[in-house]
Amino acid sequence: MTTDKLKQRLQKPKTKKGARLLRAREPQAVEVLKKALFLFGHNTSQVIKDVLADLHKLKWQESVKYTRKNDDVKPFEAGGEASLEHFCKKTDCGLFAVGNHTKKRPHNLLLGRMYNYHLYDMVEFGVVGFKSLGSFGCARCQLGGKPSFLFVGDKFETVPVLKLVKNILLDFFRGRVVKQLNVMGLDRAVVVMAAADDKLAFVHCQINLKKSGTQVPQMELKEIGPRMHLEVRRFREAPADLSKEAHKRLETKKKEKNVDIDTLHNKVGRVYVPRQDVDSMALTKPKGVKRKQREDREQRMGKKTRKPSAHETE
């Protein structure tokens, strides 16, 4: 039996619960939560292990962490993404962070995204000057709080690589999508600064609200870690066909029949009117029409028309 037939056989649901689970794993129009998978590569340094541990704490209850090394996870090599896609599908994660260490690329951190459990895009960083959470002491953060991001530098809007980095970082730390958010829940801030040599400074701070004498409190930033400098090494953008499928918008509203939009963006509708018999309708008619109808009716009944008078014959 081939692999495709085996997948079709295994993915065919036999119960309603299995069908619901498969539908939940399909790409959704609105992603409420994206979980992240943290795992080690074929060789990992202690610095990268600490980086993944701190990032896993920032994504607490929204991530899965593997502690064993995985020799087959090599996303930038041909066929090296198969094992990564398998792990992401197994844990139902749309984001991943891979750490490895080589002589050519020391302290390597790889952040990326998945679409329909296929590798979408990713960026590789080199970690320099890392300072962990524990070195900054105790920090108080509310459960369920969401971090606010501050990107310093216009390169995040002009350089294509940094635009991709900004998009991935926002998607990675976005967390659960909510309709309403309490201001007190914004208790953390992540500052990402772009240097002249395209290196990035990643700083995680706590927001402290203090009295200011007005209704708007005074905000102060206190660094709580982790802190690190990131050097962009390699990156891979999303393929054209996969990007087109991922950006496809589903029509949530039903299309109205016989309704169009004209050139002035006005709503124009067409109304169906059945065929009507005007002759049988009780409408106001002129006297000439009534006389003609009366004469026709009298002829049909076999009656003669009235005789002319004496002065009319003369």
Per-residue pLDDT, averaged over 169-187, amounts to 83
pLDDT at res. 98:
96
* Residue with more model confidence, 2 or 124: 124
Question: Highest-confidence range of 26-30, 92-96, 269-273, by mean pLDDT?
Answer: 92-96
Q: Mean pLDDT for the chain?
A: 84
The structural domains of the chain, with segments of one domain joined by +, span: 31-246
* Radius of gyration (C-alpha) of the chain in whole angstroms: 36
Q: Residue 4: is its pLDDT beyond 50?
A: no
User: How many other C-beta atoms can be found within 10 angstroms of the C-beta atom of residue 163?
Assistant: 13
Q: pLDDT tens for residues 148-165?
A: 899 998 899 999 999 999
Q: pLDDT tens for residues 98-112?
A: 999 999 999 999 999
**SS3 labels along the chain:** CCHHHHHHHHHCCCCHHHHHHHHHHCCCCCCCCCCEEEEECCCCCHHHHHHHHHHHHHCCCCEEEEEEECCCCCCCCCCCCHHHHHHHHHHCCCEEEEEECCCCCCCEEEEEEEECCEEEEEEEEEEEEEECCHHHCCCCCCCCCCEEEEEECCHHHHCHHHHHHHHHHHHHCCCCCCCCCCHHHCCEEEEEEECCCCEEEEEEEEEEEECCCCCCCEEEEEEEEEEEEEEEEEEECCCHHHHHHHCCCCCCCCCCCCEEECCCCCEEECCCCCCCCCCCCCCCCCHHHHHHHHHHHHHHCCCCCCCCCHHHHC
The CATH-assigned architecture of domain 31-246 is: 3-Layer(aba) Sandwich (3.40)
Q: Residue 118: is its pLDDT beyond 50?
A: yes
> Per-residue confidence at 287, pLDDT binned at 50, 70, 90?
low
Per-residue pLDDT, averaged over 188-205, amounts to 89
Q: Largest Cα–Cα distance in the chain?
A: 134
Sign of CA dihedral 255, 256, 258, 259: negative
Q: pLDDT tens for residues 218-267?
A: 888 888 889 999 999 999 999 999 888 888 877 666 777 888 888 888 88
What's this model's pTM, rounded to 2 decimal places? 0.72
Ranking 116-130, 131-145, 162-176 by mean pLDDT, the lowest is 131-145
Q: How much of the chain exceeds pLDDT 90, in percent? A: 41
